[in-house]
Structure 1
Amino acid sequence: MRFTTSASPMLALLLAAPGLPAQQPPKEAPIQDNSFLLEEAYNQEPGVIQHISTYTRLQQSGDWIYTFTEEWPVGGLAHQLSLTVPVQRLASSPDGGRRGFGDVALNYRYQALGDGDSAVAFAPRLSLLLPTGNHRQGRGNGHLGVQANLPLSVALGERLVSHVNLGFTHTPHAQDLLGNEADISTWNMGQSFIWLARRDLNLMLEFAYTSGDVVAGPGVRQPTQSAYVAPGLRWAWNLPKGLQVVPGLAAMVGVGPSRGETGIFLYLSFEHPLK
């Protein structure tokens, strides 16, 4: 899943409970909870954790972001906690484009409807965005923020699945490079179509759009938007002891407000039982 962790338009896309029983996924488990720009509505199975790395680089701006996410089930399928840590480089930052940490996201998601075996699944998420990034270098918002996302997953047939996202992020007293403050908000929406070519190979088409504000002066907000289409693919290696490794890649193609920008998205997931 992807989380908004900074005011940058590019980035606006993007605790295991003791006593949980170890539960191995099927040996030939299909690829499922491995979306790129969007978030699927499937919580982790009890006793199974996931480690996700992503890397996005934009060609024209030279900006890039790496994120590491860990997802943990809590007491069963209904509740899930996760942590997302971003490291990023903005070519236009005052420090000459040095890399550094962005704002860390602490996430809770509730499986309100269905699961990975259902035709329809819904799992709303609430996140706290911690001001761990250096806002004076453009790598954070300088204040605690909150984000909500509503992912809906629908099986359109035996081989076609769609994910729909609608989300909102609000950061009061966000700060710009000069320390000016303003309250900022961002809306995000997106849709994806996943074709299950094989149980271990999926073709993907995702669309992600954001519209919001950045701080432009004391109490002043400036609108910003981004929109990307990302055709890609992912595949799986189902290994012994329940380990599933899923690499993937996609092209980033800017459309609308992001027209002319292109890039690449890389993905790598490790999913395995706790024991």
Structure 2
Amino acid sequence: MSTRGPALFSAIGKKATDLLNRDYNTDQKINITTYTETGLALNSGLANNGGLSSGDIAAQYKYKNVALDVKADTQSNVSTMLTVTDILPSTKTIASIKLPDYKSGKLEVQYLHEHASFTTAVGLNESPAVDFSATIGTPAIAFGAEASFLTGSRVFSKYNAGVSFTQHDSTASVILADKGDSLRASYVHQLSRLNGGAVVGEVNRKFSTNENTLTVGGSYVVDPETVVKARLNNHGNLGALLQHQLTPKSSLTLSAAFDTKALERHPNFGLALSLKP
């Protein structure tokens, strides 16, 4: 698919969200991935959260421009996703369903153009929800909007709008979400003094409750195999993690969460081990 134009609407603000939330966890997780000579990837995962254990097994098969993903978990859910790239130039088609919910089927089409990108997703049931989004602009500046329409009740369940600005070492975005009830602004800046790390700031404003949440964070590259991250918001929630690459594809992540306004409480710790050949 072409990447010369603006990204999809879902990419607006994603860099800040990933830096502030990705890899933070308070569970104990292990994921093991293996590959066969035919190109089949098998992944098994096990997690423990507060004494409750869960697991899943997933398989992915790729052939030319087609990818098939199947995942089953210990709650008897089976998710299937078929992705086909470039049926038409610059398009990606995704068909998915999660069993035993037969009404969860969805068909999505993504289209990336030099100056615009579009997505349309339709539920495969009697009264489907129709999701659509669009962005216009360039890789440096993009304006976008998304909405979800419920055909059964004939109402919009969601509509959001956003704008993003991207330079070689920084990204800023503003998103008006929750039908205009919330505003999220974020800024990410890469710093060479952090060995390729970054600093991030995000402000969330909830108009109906007059509530503001300010979160700041950053990452620091200790060495080519080790990264540390931290985040703190104005409610006193502090998080930190250390991620070490055991091999080029395998990693160990240790994370912790603290409530700085209630230090008498025990902090929460998480561990995630990902093993790939």
TM-score when normalising by structure 1: 0.36
* Higher relative contact order (CA closer than 8 Å, sequence separation 6+): 1
TM-score when normalising by structure 2: 0.35
